[in-house]
Amino acid sequence: MSDARQVILDRIERALRTARIPSVAATPIPAPSARPDAQGLLDRFLLEARAVGVDAFVEASAADVRRRLADVIGGRRVLSWTPEHLPYDAGAVVAGACTGSAPLRQQAEADVGVTGCHAAIAETGSLALLSGPGSSRTVSLLPPLHVALVRPRDLCFSMGDFFELNAAQIAQARSCTFVTGPSRTADIELSLTIGVHGPGRVVVIIGN
């Protein structure tokens, strides 16, 4: 065996030994007739989202959601969906933030992106975001921190359910983005880097 080949195989072996695998046990996929109730959907979403590195908070009221959002933002520069696209009256918290209609250079200077979501998928802990006027795709992609505000009614079990329930809205959207934890990039040597091609931190705030 050539020296170069052995070096490559040794690197792969080391990477496999040190790769991070979520410690959450696999959960069987229920049949459509046995889908979880609202609390079950929330519990499953939190389990899967946290397993992929999302910081998830459940708040008791809209006021608590706004307080948590203000704490997470902490005075940093914000890029946001427009207020009418944010739940929990969160527009008051991000007053003065730039939006997706701002010059791209100004958007790129933001530290935090604040969005709502169109679905929170319990099976994978993913967020589904449909872009359009007032809900720019760049908000969830450019800033190093993405904060998503999720309503209980946004929860659904699977991507199949999301596509079935939102077919018309998806067809009218400019694009559909699925966010499953912080951005991850791996090179040919299997070195994993967080936050290169998207946010390095994702925070989800869910109200009741």
Beta bridge partners of 55: 203
- Summarize pLDDT for 84-120 with one digit per residue, the tens: 999 999 999 999 999 999 999 999 999 999 999 999 9
- Summarize pLDDT for 6-24 with one digit per residue, the tens: 777 776 676 666 555 555 5
Mean pLDDT of 159-178: 94
Contact, 140 vs 179, CB < 8 A?
A: yes
Contact, 183 vs 195, CB < 8 A?
A: yes
Instruction: Map out the domains of the chain as residue ranges.
Output: 54-182+191-206
Residues of the chain with pLDDT > 90, as a percent, come to 72
pLDDT surpassing 80 at residue 1: no
- In one-letter notation, the amino acid at residue 112 is V
Q: Give the containing element (helix H, strand E) for 46.
A: helix 38-51
Q: Where are the alpha helices (DSSP H) in 74-179?
A: 104-108, 159-165, 167-172
Q: Give the containing element (helix H, strand E) for 168.
A: helix 167-172
**Pairing, β 175-179 against β 126-131:** antiparallel
Round to whole Å and give the CA distance between 8 and 3.
9
The CATH architecture to which 54-182+191-206 belongs is: 3-Layer(aba) Sandwich (3.40)
